[in-house]
Chains A and B, each alone.
Chain A
Amino acid sequence: MSPLIQATGLSKHFSGLRAVSEVSLSCERGMIHAVIGPNGAGKSTLLNLLSGETKPTDGMVFIADQDVTGFSSHQMSLKGVGRSYQRTNIFDNMTVLENCNIAVQSRSRISMRFLGTTSNYPDIESQSKSILKRVGLLSVAYQLVSELSHGAQRQVEIALALATNPDVLLLDEPLAGMGAEESQTIIDLLRDIRLDYAMILVEHDMEAVFALADFLTVMLNGEVIESGLPQKIRASKKVQSAYLGEDAGE
């Protein structure tokens, strides 16, 4: 099976700083590929390169064998890449449902219509509601996102990514700042939906990573120092020293 998303030799240099250097990885549908590493290892930059928010200095990105290197974020989204953000990046002062409606509508052809009211297009809202049901937010659909708990806002973050009906999901620390119970909700959710997507997961919670990941890539100072199946990573001396040793980055 050919990978849904593939990156080869991906590099990003910020005026001398090698944030990401020669990273290659791939992910196919039904697989969770976790990217781990200490802070500053370049994980978020890597996701930005994959989602089109940052242009790579070098290397290529493919979606289902099509070269999409240099595509901007909205083009990547339309190619089927959905992402969530480490720092919650949703629409404040709007309800959960309105947040989701914006995301769902991006897949329709109606967004340039400026005379009919949105109530003429009830499909959007019903699709939103089914997404919200899936992520467990239906009961708060009419609440402002700014009034939600941090954990629920993180769920909105994921709902927005899912609402664009992607094939590839890039998740940047979905569990950041969550309590144990909230984390478990998200972990269960990801487990439920894993077969439908190719997921690239950046996460610091190692327990969650090893509970979910099929494959791991470990980064340090912008480079891949190890990659492989979970048991190989667990046993790797290099990974242990990266996390515990003195050359562990910042």
Chain B
Amino acid sequence: MGKNFKSLVIGFVLLSLMLFPFFGERFYIQFASKILVMIIFVSSLNLLVGFTGLVSLGHAAFFGFAGYVLAILMQVDSSTHFVTALLISISCVGLLGLVFGVLVLRTKGIFFIMSTLALGEMLFYFLHDTDFAGGSDGIYIYSRPNLSIFDFWDVDLANAVHFYYVALVFVCLTLIFIGRIIQSPFGRVISGIRVNEHRTKALGYNTYKFKLVCFVIASMIAAVSGFLAAVQFGVVNPEMVGWHVSGHALMMVILGGKGAILGPVLGTTTLMITEEIFQMLTKHWQLLTGLVIVLVALFFPNGLAGIRIFKKGGSM
């Protein structure tokens, strides 16, 4: 019954998400798209934090960098196809992830957190203080990459509804992809690393290599979200790379429940909606948001996904 019930709930949620643009106002559709894009980013961070036990404060580097790659690409050739641009962006970020990973994975614990923060901030100041990519103003993306599917279906990414569906598809793909990783032989190893890295290594696994692969995969998923964010807003700026974005995403991971596939979905949606509501209520909305996070952390240490009704049969 549990499993059927779960499929039913997921089916219902998906259906309502698909129908949402027919009823929602433009503002809400855009806001929902923003949440969807953020879910991808938070899920990629959860792969590191929740599933591998690597707490990164520099993850926004990959998010922002992906946007910059797109912006520069569109400056070079404004007719670039969406898929080409996305693949180039993911590859560039994957390379950056490899370089960052090789450096930061030599450290552990708090030193890992600090070195991810340091590298992220280095990228921030590089983009902020040089003329290379528009400095502190960033770059405007005047024309979105074109997304025509087999020449007969033109998706206009500047159209809020079109973009919403594209984002929804990518969220589903991301969640399925991460779900596959977790259930794979590779996922078995990274769960071993999370629980007991010392023993995993003693069992013959080169844990450094596994963490590096995982770090690069997570950076590439983050690239998808950064790419989509840049497409949605038509602008990239150094703020996208800053540690605020990483920290915000980390809060969503913790709020949702680290180490659960649906944790980022719950955490991101809840935090972004409550923030929006609090912003309408008061100027000091951050105070209220902080309170909510503290309360959830206090009463639901496993996050929202750890609350009984969200809990699915046994496995995480």
Interface size class of A (residues with CB under 8 A): 35 or more
Enumerate 28 A-B pairs (CB-CB under 8 Å) in ascending A order.
A51-B202, A53-B202, A72-B201, A74-B201, A77-B202, A83-B202, A89-B202, A91-B196, A92-B195, A93-B195, A101-B188, A102-B189, A102-B200, A106-B203, A110-B185, A111-B186, A111-B189, A112-B186, A112-B213, A114-B187, A114-B213, A114-B217, A115-B180, A115-B181, A116-B180, A118-B184, A124-B185, A160-B203
- Contact indicator B185/A116 (Cβ below 8 Å): yes
Residue A139 CB within 8 A of the other chain: no
Query: Hey, what's the 0/1 contact readout for A97-140 against B, CB within 8 Å counting as 1?
Result: 01001110111101111111111010010000000000000000
Residues in A whose Cβ lies below 8 Å from that of B180: 114-117
**Among candidates B192, B204, B210, residue contacting A77 with C-beta atoms closer than 8 Å:** B204
**Nearest 5 pairs between A and B by C-beta?**
A77-B204, A114-B186, A106-B204, A117-B183, A110-B185
Nearest-CB distance from B258 to chain A (Å)? 13
Residues in B whose Cβ lies below 8 Å from that of A93: 195
Number of A-B contacts (CB under 8 A): 93
- Contact indicator A90/B184 (Cβ below 8 Å): no
Residue B20 CB within 8 A of the other chain: no
Within 8 A of A (CB), among B148-197: 180-181, 183-189, 191-192, 195-196
- Contact indicator A74/B199 (Cβ below 8 Å): no
Residues in A whose Cβ lies below 8 Å from that of B188: 98, 101-102, 105, 111, 118
- Contact indicator B206/A114 (Cβ below 8 Å): no
Residue B31 CB within 8 A of the other chain: no
Given A102-B203, A114-B186, 4 new contacts (CB under 8 A): A113-B185, A114-B213, A115-B180, A118-B183
Residue A26 CB within 8 A of the other chain: no
Residue B207 CB within 8 A of the other chain: yes
Residue A78 CB within 8 A of the other chain: yes
Residues in B whose Cβ lies below 8 Å from that of A78: 204
**Among candidates B184, B200, B205, B206, residue contacting A117 with C-beta atoms closer than 8 Å:** B184
Residue B244 CB within 8 A of the other chain: no
**Among candidates B183, B184, B198, B205, residue contacting A106 with C-beta atoms closer than 8 Å:** B205
Residues in B whose Cβ lies below 8 Å from that of A164: 203-204
Query: Hey, what's the 0/1 contact readout for B8-22 against A, CB within 8 Å counting as 1?
Result: 000000000000000
- Contact indicator A105/B185 (Cβ below 8 Å): yes
Residues in B whose Cβ lies below 8 Å from that of A119: 183
In terms of DSSP, what is the predominant structure of the interface of chain B?
helix
Residues in A whose Cβ lies below 8 Å from that of B192: 91, 102
Contacts A89-B196, A91-B199, A92-B196 given; does A111 touch B187 at CB 8 Å? no
Residue A73 CB within 8 A of the other chain: yes
Q: Select the residue from B181, B184, B186, B203 with max chain A CB neighbours within 10 A.
A: B203
In terms of DSSP, what is the predominant structure of the interface of chain A?
loop
Nearest-CB distance from B53 to chain A (Å)? 12
Residues in A whose Cβ lies below 8 Å from that of B210: 111
- Contact indicator B199/A160 (Cβ below 8 Å): yes
**Among candidates A51, A72, A91, A111, residue contacting B185 with C-beta atoms closer than 8 Å:** A111
Nearest-CB distance from A174 to chain B (Å)? 15
Q: How far is the CA of A90 from the CA of B197 in the complex (A)?
A: 10
Q: Select the residue from A93, A114, A116 with max chain B CB neighbours within 10 A.
A: A114
Nearest-CB distance from B209 to chain A (Å)? 8
Nearest-CB distance from B138 to chain A (Å)? 34
Q: How far is the CA of A38 from the CA of B206 in the complex (A)?
A: 34
Residues in B whose Cβ lies below 8 Å from that of A114: 180-181, 184-187, 213, 217
Q: How far is the CA of A70 from the CA of B79 in the complex (A)?
A: 55
| Nearest-neighbor residue (CB-CB) of A80 within chain B | B204
Residue A94 CB within 8 A of the other chain: yes
Nearest-CB distance from B232 to chain A (Å)? 29
Residues in B whose Cβ lies below 8 Å from that of A94: 191, 195
Residues in A whose Cβ lies below 8 Å from that of B191: 91, 94, 102
| Nearest-neighbor residue (CB-CB) of B185 within chain A | A110
Query: Hey, what's the 0/1 contact readout for A48-59 against B, CB within 8 Å counting as 1?
Result: 000101000000
Q: How far is the CA of A73 from the CA of B203 in the complex (A)?
A: 8
- Contact indicator B196/A113 (Cβ below 8 Å): no
| Nearest-neighbor residue (CB-CB) of B217 within chain A | A114
Residues in A whose Cβ lies below 8 Å from that of B196: 89-92
Q: How far is the CA of A53 from the CA of B200 in the complex (A)?
A: 12
Residues in B whose Cβ lies below 8 Å from that of A108: 185
Q: How far is the CA of A154 from the CA of B111 in the complex (A)?
A: 33
| Nearest-neighbor residue (CB-CB) of A109 within chain B | B185
Query: Hey, what's the 0/1 contact readout for B215-240 against A, CB within 8 Å counting as 1?
Result: 00100000000000000000000000
- Contact indicator A115/B184 (Cβ below 8 Å): yes
- Contact indicator B185/A89 (Cβ below 8 Å): no
Q: Select the residue from B186, B210, B217 with max chain A CB neighbours within 10 A.
A: B186
Residues in B whose Cβ lies below 8 Å from that of A115: 180-181, 184
